[in-house]
Structure 1
Amino acid sequence: MRTLFWPLPLLALTLGFAPVQDWVKRPDPQRLADAYPGFAAHAGLEGYARIACGVAATGALENCRVIEESPVGLGFGAAALSVSDGYLADRQDDEVAFTNHFSLPPLETIRPWDGSEPGPEVMEAATQYTRRLNLSLTRSFSLDGLPDDRREAVSEIIAEVEAETGADLRAAYALSLARTQSLETLRMVLVGQRRPGRSPFTDGEIARAEDQLKTVGNRQNALVQQRYCALYDCGPGAS
């Protein structure tokens, strides 16, 4: 799932090997995931960057530079450079060139909620709490990796999507909350006594309770991607 309210399950795969060079060490998957440009991750955009580096006597890479990246303007070149110090070659060399492919896992299958639906009192309390959160796509959608000359246009796209879908997101959030919190807990929160605590539901049940929230979040991200790609090149893999 790629939505704004959950940690992004990023998978950045590093592929492409210098033909005369073997790696003693490469960046670990978490570091590659952390380097994934934020906007591209939220919008579901993938890419690659090819970099060239010198190899010191220690095997460390030095003087790295981007020689190709696609799509341009999403930060994949900078991301590849940021993890270059995580490589260690098996011997010194004048220069090696290799490609970092940044890929996202498929969207998770959303399992529908199969429990009972909340009553009107619980729903109203959850809705009141959700209003206080002031959920906003414009604040949550990362612009990381975008060049300055695209940020204004992209911010306008995100604001448009927020205007079209924000009410649906807030309604879905309130529903997921009402499904997993008691009326007593929500009333206590509303008067400032406590925040929603650990639900008695299992992790799987909580995930299903968020089915509509995930659906709306995925739709928001897809709309941002669609409108961004209408203005800028997103490469052949963009949906």
Structure 2
Amino acid sequence: MITLLATLALLVEPAHWETPPDVKRSDYPALARDLRINGNVTLECVNNEDGALSRCAAMSAKPADAGFQQAALAIVFRGRVAQLAGVPFSIELPFDILDEDDEPLRQPWEGPEPGPEHIQAAQAFTDSFYGGSRSAAERSIRDWKVNEMPAEKAALLRGWMAELYPDLEAEKAWHAAGVARVLALHGVDYLPTKKPIGWDVWYAQVTRASPEDPAPIRNEMRRRYCAAFDCVSGVAVD
């Protein structure tokens, strides 16, 4: 049935945009955003007299089962078309703004080594920060909606995560080491209520100061995912 619908979608007229929808990085499904994967969705839509879309159905997506169909349905209604009202037409909605090259590796941290007072304060903060947290694998399973994927694909992703991702204790240790280095850099042995350089900059420094760079893990996950599920060629049907 889905294949038939996808075939029928190719028989209708393509969209003539008056205002195409603007796809932002935040619109990408979590899996694609995290692994830097672009995609494309074919939809069939109908519009009102004023050009606003009244209904749409996602017919196919590339890659499949990555969340692009749902994301497209949340985005496409931002657009406005110059079409005859009530006549179905097709839309090819690209998600093509991410740099698909490997995520660059971090530069080595440069700064003073933390003392015992920095390490103690960093550990206390990290224990509080991670209280009740899930592991990186558990967060990805939740955010990528792995449990909603076909069973074989979900099992493959879980296996890769178990092999590549740190467990929660290792992740906490890396975070604490990064916090301790940043405390030493700023010459404080406590976590100030108001960060001296602003929270966004502070968090970015902690990330850079961590002794382990997550980029190689994400790059390897992307390589495996695209080798298994064909990120770059062909149209697969969800």
Superposition map of 1:200-211 within 5 A: 200-201=196-197, 207-211=204-208
Corresponding residue number in structure 2 for 1:98 = 91
Query: Residues 26 and 109 (structure 1 numbering): CA distance in 2 closer, same or farther, change over 3 Å?
Result: farther
Q: Does 1:157 align with 2:160?
A: yes
Corresponding residue number in structure 2 for 1:11 = none
CA RMSD of the aligned region, Å?
A: 3.5
Alpha-carbon separation, structure 2, partners of 1:205 and 1:91: 50
Question: Over residues 11-62 of structure 1, what are the superposed CA-to-partner deviations in whole Å (9 max), with x where a residue is unaligned?
Answer: xxxxxxx867232x34345xx4443111121122221112222222121223
Structure 1 unmatched runs, 5+: 1-17, 187-195
Superposition map of 1:189-228 within 5 A: 197-201=193-197, 207-213=204-210, 216-228=213-225
Structure 2 unmatched runs, 5+: 1-12, 234-238
Question: Over residues 61-104 of structure 1, what are the superposed CA-to-partner deviations in whole Å (9 max), with x where a residue is unaligned?
Answer: 23423344211121212221222221111342523323222132
Query: Residues 52 and 138 (structure 1 numbering): CA distance in 2 closer, same or farther, change over 3 Å?
Result: same
- Which of 106, 109, 115 is 2:111 aligned to? 115
Query: Residues 53 and 214 (structure 1 numbering): CA distance in 2 closer, same or farther, change over 3 Å?
Result: farther
Q: Does 1:48 align with 2:49?
A: no
Question: Over residues 150-182 of structure 1, what are the superposed CA-to-partner deviations in whole Å (9 max), with x where a residue is unaligned?
Answer: 33432332232224x766643431222113336
Corresponding residue number in structure 2 for 1:143 = 144
Alpha-carbon separation, structure 2, partners of 1:222 and 1:166: 20
Alpha-carbon separation, structure 1, partners of 2:195 and 2:58: 48
Segment of structure 1 superposing worse, 52-61 or 132-141:
132-141
Question: Per-residue deviation at 1:122?
Answer: 1.5
Q: Is the 8 A contact 1:113 1:205 kept in 2?
A: no
Corresponding residue number in structure 2 for 1:185 = 190
TM-score normalised by length of structure 1: 0.67
Superposition map of 1:33-72 within 5 A: 33-72=25-64
TM-score normalised by length of structure 2: 0.68
- Which of 169, 172, 176 is 1:170 aligned to? 172
Alpha-carbon separation, structure 1, partners of 2:33 and 2:89: 28
Alpha-carbon separation, structure 1, partners of 2:15 and 2:33: 32
Question: Over residues 172-193 of structure 1, what are the superposed CA-to-partner deviations in whole Å (9 max), with x where a residue is unaligned?
Answer: 312221133366425xxxxxxx
Query: Residues 204 and 84 (structure 1 numbering): CA distance in 2 closer, same or farther, change over 3 Å?
Result: closer
Identity fraction in percent: 24
Alpha-carbon separation, structure 2, partners of 1:124 and 1:179: 12
